[in-house]
Structure 1
Amino acid sequence: MSKGLLGCRSASWLGAALLLLNSLLLSVCAVAQETPEGRAKVDGPHVAEFSIDGPIGPATTDYLVRAMEEAEEDGAQLFVITMDTPGGLDAATRDIIKHILASSIPVATYVHPAGARAASAGTYILYASQIAAMTPSTTLGAATPVQMGGAPGQQPPGESPQKGGGAEEEGKEGEEKPQPSGDAMERKVTNDAVAFIRGLANRHGRNADWAEKAVREAATLTAGEALEMNVIDIVAKDQGDLLRQAAGRKVVLDSGEFTIPDNIAELPRQSYEPDWRNKLLALITNPQVAYILLLIGIYGLIFEGYNPGALVPGIVGLICLLLAFYALQVLPINYAGLALIILGALLIVAEVFMPSFGALGIGGVIALVIGSVMLIDTDVPGMRVSRQLIGAIAGVSGLAMLGLLMAVGRSFRKPRIPSDQALVGRSAVVTSLQEDIVLVHLNGEIWRARCDQPLQLGQRVTVVAQKGLTLTVEPEKGE
Structure 2
Amino acid sequence: MIILGLLLAALSKAQPESVAVVEIHGGIDEGKVYLVKKGLSIVNGGILILVIDSYGGYVKSMDEIISLLKTCQCRTIAFLPPGSKAVSAATGVALAASKLYVGDGAVIGACKPTPSNDKTEAYMISRFTGLLEEKKIQKPDLLARELVIENKAFTAREALDLGLADARAGSLGEVLRAEGLEGLPISYLRDDLVSEALSLLIDPGIALLLAVLGVLLLALEFHVTGFQGWGVIGGALILTALYTFNLIGINLYAFLLVSLGVVLILLELFKPGIQVFGLSGGLLVGIGIAVEYYTQPYHALSSFTVTALVLLGLIGVFIALIIYKASQTLGMKTLSLEEKLIGKTGYAKTGITPGKRGVVYVEGEDWTAESDDEIREGQRIIVEAVRGLVLKVRPAESK
| TM-score for both structures, normalised by structure 1 | 0.55
Give the CA RMSD over aligned residues: 4.7
Where does residue 326 of structure 1 map in the other structure?
240
How do residues 232-247 of structure 1 correspond to structure 2 at under 5 angstroms? Answer: 232-245=165-178, 247=179
CA distance in 1, matches of 2:381, 2:282: 47
1:223 to 144, 151, 156: 156
After superposition, the Cα gap between the structure-2 partners of 1:475 and 1:217, relative to the gap in structure 1 and judged at 3 Å, is: farther
Where does residue 120 of structure 1 map in the other structure?
88
Deviation at 1:392, TM superposition (A): 6.7
Where does residue 102 of structure 1 map in the other structure?
71
CA distance in 1, matches of 2:210, 2:166: 44
After superposition, the Cα gap between the structure-2 partners of 1:233 and 1:295, relative to the gap in structure 1 and judged at 3 Å, is: same
Give deviations 1:427-467, integer Å, cap 9, x for gaps: 6899xxxxx9x999869xx9x97732599xxx997543468
Deviation at 1:319, TM superposition (A): 3.0
CA distance in 2, matches of 1:71, 1:101: 15
Q: 2:61 matched to 1:92?
A: yes
How do residues 57-456 of structure 1 correspond to structure 2 at under 5 angstroms? Answer: 57-72=29-44, 76=46, 78-112=47-81, 114-147=82-115, 155=116, 186-206=117-137, 208=140, 209-245=142-178, 247=179, 263-273=180-190, 276-286=193-203, 290=207, 292-309=209-226, 311=228, 314-315=229-230, 318-319=232-233, 321-323=235-237, 325-326=239-240, 329-330=243-244, 365-376=282-293, 377-378=295-296, 380-382=299-301, 389=310, 424-426=342-344, 451-452=369-370
Where does residue 384 of structure 2 map in the other structure?
464
Percent pairwise identity: 21
CA distance in 2, matches of 1:475, 1:82: 89
Q: Is the 8 A contact 2:345 2:362 kept in 1?
A: no
Give deviations 1:1-51, integer Å, cap 9, x for gaps: xxxxxxxxxxxxxxxxxxxxxxxxxxxxxxxxxxxxxxxxxx741322111
Paired residue type of 1:474: V
Give deviations 1:42-92, integer Å, cap 9, x for gaps: x741322111110111122122113312321xx62x210011111111211
Gaps of 5+ in 2: 1-14, 248-280, 349-356
CA distance in 1, matches of 2:22, 2:233: 33
CA distance in 2, matches of 1:135, 1:441: 86
Larger Cα-atom Rg = 2
Which 10-residue stretch deviates more, 364-373 or 236-245?
364-373
After superposition, the Cα gap between the structure-2 partners of 1:142 and 1:280, relative to the gap in structure 1 and judged at 3 Å, is: same
CA distance in 2, matches of 1:473, 1:200: 94
CA distance in 2, matches of 1:473, 1:44: 98
After superposition, the Cα gap between the structure-2 partners of 1:67 and 1:326, relative to the gap in structure 1 and judged at 3 Å, is: farther
- SS of 2:370's equivalent in the other structure is coil
| Paired residues, number | 321
After superposition, the Cα gap between the structure-2 partners of 1:306 and 1:264, relative to the gap in structure 1 and judged at 3 Å, is: same
Deviation at 1:291, TM superposition (A): 5.0
Deviation at 1:324, TM superposition (A): 5.7
Q: Is the 8 A contact 1:451 1:474 kept in 2?
A: yes
Paired residue type of 2:62: T
Give deviations 1:308-365, integer Å, cap 9, x for gaps: 3261xx34x63365246325523579xxxxxxxxxxxxxxxxxxxxxxxxxxxxxx95
Q: Is the 8 A contact 2:75 2:98 kept in 1?
A: yes
Where does residue 36 of structure 1 map in the other structure?
none
Gaps of 5+ in 1: 1-42, 148-154, 156-185, 248-262, 334-363, 412-416, 431-435
CA distance in 2, matches of 1:48, 1:391: 35
- SS of 1:85's equivalent in the other structure is strand
Q: Is the 8 A contact 2:24 2:190 kept in 1?
A: no
CA distance in 1, matches of 2:133, 2:226: 64
Paired residue type of 2:186: R
Deviation at 1:190, TM superposition (A): 1.2
CA distance in 2, matches of 1:225, 1:306: 64
After superposition, the Cα gap between the structure-2 partners of 1:211 and 1:424, relative to the gap in structure 1 and judged at 3 Å, is: same
- SS of 1:136's equivalent in the other structure is coil
- SS of 1:86's equivalent in the other structure is strand
Q: Is the 8 A contact 2:113 2:148 kept in 1?
A: yes
CA distance in 2, matches of 1:45, 1:429: 91
Where does residue 253 of structure 2 map in the other structure?
none
